[in-house]
Structure 1
């Protein structure tokens, strides 16, 4: 299909977002959108939805379609004027245009709005064709979002099960189990360090990573892949620097980097994963936020008897197996969508 060659600024207008420090945000339902997506809420919107947001500083090349009024932060650019183009199409078009975008600032990573506006691009001018392309691609995203909701519900079910058994102490057979000093008979409070010692992740810079099948974990979750794993799965990852106390369950072999601790596969369990979610890991380093390992190891953990622990694993494992299946489906859907994207945008496919 024919494409008109124009400057990006003739197709749409990007504008910088607005300052809104966390301490100035008020309780509300309006999403606050940064360069990495929705990062909070506020009671007031600056932009009427639906809208499109991309990163100006920080995370670059990501594009977010926001279907409601929102507040774009100053780390982001948002589409101020769609110039009559299909809005959902514009979100996919920007994702295609910005793929591989890198900073043009040496000291502070960022992109220049004027440089983006001057970029030459090929665009379908027919809004009907734009709508058709958006419909094709959004079908994949709708399936992905539906799976994400199902994953969230499954994890919520496992979390509620943990609380029912180990917080409210309504575990199977609780009616016949004596409670001694607030602890069921046969259970024991132990320091975390004696149950599951935290081990340090290993540094792996972006330049040293070789894309492969093994996820690389930082304190914000999966931050890439690598050709070699550092530890076998399953393992629990605990944020050490940055997102202090963040928790991730990896069923597969992986590489935890130096911003996290990990618990090795011999000591990792779904019981422990949900138990750690009940702990409050407070940053203990004023200058650089971080989780002190000795402090974490001193935290008390209520450990059930082996019969109850095995029963919990047997009950929670099928939920996690369903979650992993849905995550793999989403990875396949995203891969198929991303293969279609350039072909639809350049007119190779109609």
Structure 2
């Protein structure tokens, strides 16, 4: 039988526990933008030298909890998965670690991701508008109805089963993306496409390949943000894509914000049909995604509404290869890239011809379709997990 007691968070979880790092040595580094609200784990994509700078410090298995607005509201919370004994990262993380024999590390992640912790943490925020942070002491002393360790482990087993499936799908997605990317490079970068042995080259390119501009492939549309002062413009079912929604996602199947019909009707001509190619051109430039459903975007994104959907896969990878070009042509002397619609649609690409683009489409469209299918599977798994989470954390569902 499960045993539940009212306790403070700090009774079972250490907040910002000490971690020893040596100056001058390299450690895994995790910044806040690498944490995704749709992924349980976060791992480092870079290693940095620790020189004593202000940072959060954590170990494998700890939970990093974004303390600043709007990251906390967006549930940027993750379980750390690194190779090595210790790591460091953004100063805007609180670090949670399960106390030995009192808490399960997996349960710690699920508990601190739940409304029972997140909503009070949001309410505790103080500071200047736009830079508000959750109060550490308030979070530590938060009173919660908590289960005994065996029950924590059973709850974590149930929720982890969903996340294990999600992570397995993410690994499959990554392999499929790599396969499509590698074939693109083989054919259109290394020029080892079918029949290349008998192809003549002129000026370093296969004969017959031509130079075109992005506008040759479809209508270019720059997004727009409906007035945020009118709440009725938001909260509907129409995706509203911003650059953070695009990171790590070939297809956009859900967005942080959604427009209502009223919001859509303020700018109906801006609606992108399914399978448009969206490219971020302001701020973090060169991020590329495809909308799996009709969508609007904000003004930081230029999109191509394709004339011929057989060109989708080839043009997607071609746009991804333009990241450095976008950053170069979008340089304004300021720190932020800003590439206008006029400059974007005039960007030049090397076109290999209709037949080769079609051959590539036939090869990789099944891969793209599988990726989209796995993403929708993950969305369903997340929905089921998130329905279970509050019931398990409250004890309403016996385990």
Measured at CA, do residues 17 and 264 of structure 1 come closer, stay the same or move farther in structure 2, by a change above 3 Å?
farther
Q: Choose the corresponding residue for 1:129, options 137, 145, 151.
A: 151
1:1-350 → structure 2 map (5 Å cutoff):
1-15=2-16, 30-34=28-32, 37=35, 38=42, 40-43=45-48, 46-58=57-69, 59-60=71-72, 61-68=75-82, 69-80=86-97, 82=99, 84-96=102-114, 97-100=116-119, 102=122, 103-107=125-129, 108-124=131-147, 126-196=148-218, 198-204=220-226, 207=231, 208-212=233-237, 214-220=238-244, 221=246, 222-227=255-260, 230-266=271-307, 269-279=312-322, 280=324, 281-282=326-327, 283-287=330-334, 289-293=336-340, 294-349=342-397, 350=399
Measured at CA, do residues 136 and 162 of structure 1 come closer, stay the same or move farther in structure 2, by a change above 3 Å?
same
SS, match of residue 252 in structure 1: coil
**Contact 2:218/2:304, CA 8 A, preserved across alignment:** yes
Q: Unaligned 5+ residue runs, structure 1?
A: none
- Note the C-alpha offset of 1:297: 3.6
- Note the C-alpha offset of 1:245: 1.5
Question: How many corresponding residue pairs?
Answer: 343
Residues 52-108 of structure 1: CA deviation (Å, up to 9, x unaligned): 110012410332111343314211100156363111111101111234453443421
Q: State the Cα RMSD in Å.
A: 2.8
- Note the C-alpha offset of 1:116: 1.4
**Contact 2:217/2:306, CA 8 A, preserved across alignment:** no
Counterpart CA distance in 2 for 1:233 and 1:251 is: 5
How high is the TM-score relative to the length of structure 1? 0.88
Residues 185-210 of structure 1: CA deviation (Å, up to 9, x unaligned): 32201233444454211114664322
Counterpart CA distance in 2 for 1:15 and 1:70 is: 13
Measured at CA, do residues 15 and 317 of structure 1 come closer, stay the same or move farther in structure 2, by a change above 3 Å?
same
- Note the C-alpha offset of 1:253: 1.3
Counterpart CA distance in 2 for 1:144 and 1:55 is: 22
**Contact 1:35/1:55, CA 8 A, preserved across alignment:** no
SS, match of residue 123 in structure 1: strand
SS, match of residue 235 in structure 2: coil
Q: Unaligned 5+ residue runs, structure 2?
A: 36-41, 51-56, 247-254, 265-270
Counterpart CA distance in 1 for 2:25 and 2:294 is: 41
